[in-house]
Amino acid sequence: MKSHTTLSKRSFMKMLGLGGSGSSAAGIASPLYHDLDEVKASPAAERRLPWWVREGDKPTVEIDWSTMQRFDSSNIMFVNGFAQAVGPENAMKLGGQAMETGTQNILEKEPGFSLREKALVVGGWLTSLLTTERAFLGPGLPVPFAMSGIPDDLDYPRYEGTPEENTRMVRAAAKLYGAASVGVVELDENTRKLFYAIDGWDGRKWEFEDVDKAYETKKKKVIPYQAKWVIVYTIRMSSPSLATAPAALATAASSIAYSEGTSVQLRLQQFINRLGYQCLADGNMGTSGNSPGFGVLAGLGELSRLNRMISPRWGPLVRVFKVITDLPLAPTKPIDAGIFRFCRTCKKCAEFCPSNALSMETEPSWEVQGVWNNPGVKTYYEKAPNCFSQWMKLGGHDCGICLAACPFSKQDKSFIHIHDFVRQIIATTPMFNGMFRKLDTDPGYGKDPEAWWELDLPPHGYNNTQGI
């Protein structure tokens, strides 16, 4: 693909063989759609906010962009952060103990931590780990365009649409590929600060340059300034699996979500590259920047006491992913569903956290807890080393109790999730938040992991419901 001239979307669709009969649509969309216009007009393309959720110009959490700097992600727990916090020797010792615990659990067939649960976790990770390499620039164009009835050497102009049309198109495509919700953040001198300065995983710098094309060297990965739109999307996690937390089944829900996120990312890269634009990604684990932060700015949820994003529909049972593109897009607005306010009185996650990692303070704070936090947000900063130590005690996998305990996580039983009416009240006034918290008496975690294997779960372990 070489040309950079413009082409109307209708001509482009015709060239793709999608403008006429629906028979050739299979290469780009499901048989339900006959062309990209239909994709964009589909319900999946709409940003359908639940009726109690309000859009605003700012997120519900306060941000001081002047004090925020781009973060060195080697300070996160998975890279150097844990060793920095507890000392290298202790980190080594705890890592060794985690391995011993994990092995012992398998040999003793510990319910929830036995071989089959561990195998489920690594199976969940597979797609993500296999495709991490070359994630930044994408896999190229491995799928022949001939699979869509087009000669691969065709010199065609790139796709053109308005930013609003493009956002609708991208949302529809990402949802078809598996995303639960999709939003857009436009990069400027502030929002660029959510990108890390250094990718802690490979030690390379993330840099922005005034170049046409993204490129990478051994020392840096360069995003062109003109690639200024971040497509943010969520992947849901299985509620019944998280309900077994801290069993390894909860970790499996998380590892599967990472793989699904990578799968959507690869497809979006292929889709957007074929339209004639760049689509840059960070592969596994969001190594380019603060994905939940972008999710909050894009209005996919609100920040919470977990210091993670909570979706108004699925609570914290989502993982957030992102790609960066030069396809012009219309940004989506932050939302207010009353979640951050609810966190002030709720505190349930912090009460149940076995390692006291989460703040019990009523008010959020600007004070960070350590080098693993990036300042500039008035939030509930967590003691990440406490949490990571707990993961070590479990034999080296997630705990997840806080995610499962959150009242917004329960899709079926919780008072909050039975009644949209309750969520509307939470979104409107904090007056009844204390009462709603008291009514949520189910801890939400610790369900029998043996019984989980007998459940007849829907695909991916969750019921598909609409939402943002």
End-to-end CA distance of the chain: 34
Task: Decide if 274 contacts 219 (C-beta within 8 A).
Answer: no
The Cα 316–Cα 432 span in angstroms is 21
Six-digit token string for 3: 């040309």
Question: What phi, psi does 252 have (nearest 5°)?
Answer: -60, -40
Task: Decide if 406 contacts 310 (C-beta within 8 A).
Answer: yes
What is the Cβ-side half-sphere exposure of residue 96, based on CA atoms within 13 angstroms? 6
Residue 18 or 353: the one with the smaller Cβ distance to ligand SF4 is 353
Query: Minimum CB separation from ligand SF4 for residue 111, in Å?
Result: 19
Query: Minimum CB separation from ligand SF4 for residue 364, in Å?
Result: 11
Tell how strand 229-236 and strand 309-310 pair up. Answer: unpaired
The Cα 327–Cα 321 span in angstroms is 18
Query: Minimum CB separation from ligand SF4 for residue 373, in Å?
Result: 14
Rounded to the nearest 5 percent, the helix, strand and coil shares of the chain are: 40, 15, 45
Residue 376 or 407: the one with the smaller Cβ distance to ligand SF4 is 407
Residue 77 or 280: the one with the smaller Cβ distance to ligand SF4 is 77
Residue that is written with structure tokens 């699996």 in the block: 241
Question: What phi, psi does 287 have (nearest 5°)?
Answer: -80, -5
Query: Minimum CB separation from ligand SF4 for residue 251, in Å?
Result: 10
Look at the alpha carbons of 107, 108, 109, 114 in this order and tell me if their dihedral is positive or negative. Answer: negative
Tell how strand 279-280 and strand 318-325 pair up. Answer: antiparallel
Bridge partners of residue 235, in order along the sequence: 319
Query: Minimum CB separation from ligand SF4 for residue 384, in Å?
Result: 8
Query: Minimum CB separation from ligand SF4 for residue 445, in Å?
Result: 8
Residues that bind ligand SF4 (CB under 6 A): 304-306, 310, 342-343, 346-349, 353-355, 357-358, 387, 390, 399-402, 405-408
Question: What phi, psi does 174 have (nearest 5°)?
Answer: -65, -35
Query: Minimum CB separation from ligand SF4 for residue 308, in Å?
Result: 8
Residue 74 or 433: the one with the smaller Cβ distance to ligand SF4 is 433
Query: Minimum CB separation from ligand SF4 for residue 433, in Å?
Result: 9
Angstrom distances, CA of residue 406 to CA of 228, 246, 304, 365: 34, 14, 10, 21
